[in-house]
Amino acid sequence: MKRIFLFLVTNMAVMLVLSITMNLLGVGRYLTANGINPAQLLIFAAVIGFGGSFISLLMSKWMAKTSTGAHVIDPRAPGGRREAWLVETVHQLADRAGIGRPEVAIYEGAPNAFATGAFRNEALVAVSTGLLESMTEEEVTAVLGHEVAHVANGDMVTLTLIQGVVNTFVIFLSRAVGYFIDRAVLKNERDVGIGYYISVFVCEILFGVIASIIVAWFSRQREFRADAGSAHLLGAREPMIRALARLGGVEAGELPKSFQAAGITGGAIGALFASHPPIEQRIEALRRQQG
């Protein structure tokens, strides 16, 4: 589940930087000194929460290329038949999906693929050498269709919005609980004390875990939609079913932590935190949808 994990890590890092910046500017001290006004706190939380998500989104293509070492294929001068076929296939699928033609890249690794980017018409689709070597061209085309469907569905933007919402509530609730514990439980009548900061830290971890479950649930739902999208683009379900079955029989390559949810397959630390549904469920969903 590396694609989502990388997105989440980057998002948390950006939120931390934004939070520190806001505190250095005195915003955090102003809120606590004035009893934490709910409306002001919500604005503060939204700025940091959505800021982290959108900055992560804007950085997503650069992070993907850097973290995987992906080689972007020049469509005007592909390096051989395989690269020419990849570019042509992705461009054909993008045309069918009604989106701009994405950049196409190859990276070294075990079987996997991903799509990312802040804009539907300026996305990146990348496949691993392991996937190209372990699948037939028809199966690879189905995987590419899955990734193009992610782009056409606007999944990265939707994920960003969902992450921004949960970030906002994590920050808002953590500080509200911290202030309540500091004032009502610890009876601190002056400026916020150590109890506030400890409570906020602990609550951000706990609420962050719950937020991760919500994001992972959405990620699983979008995988079903992308599988169906691939079948629609190819005009048949069987290539995607065969590709999934083959992925179920090989060791799926792990993507860098921030891009796990973007991959064609993903790992799981327990069902609630899985970025991808089990292969068997995805195949069954395709068969049910197509009758």
Residues carrying an active site annotation:
147
DSSP strand pairing (71-72 vs 124-128): unpaired
Q: How far is CA 54 from CA 46, 59, 129, 160, in A?
A: 12, 9, 30, 6
Phi, psi of 110 (to 5 degrees): -70, 170
Q: How far is CA 56 from CA 5, 11, 163, 282, in A?
A: 12, 6, 10, 28
Supply the DSSP string of 65-120, one letter for each residue: HHHHT-EE--TTS-SSHHHHHHHHHHHHHHHHHTSPPPEEEEE-SSS-EEEE-SST
Closest CA to 92 of 75, 114, 80, 78: 75
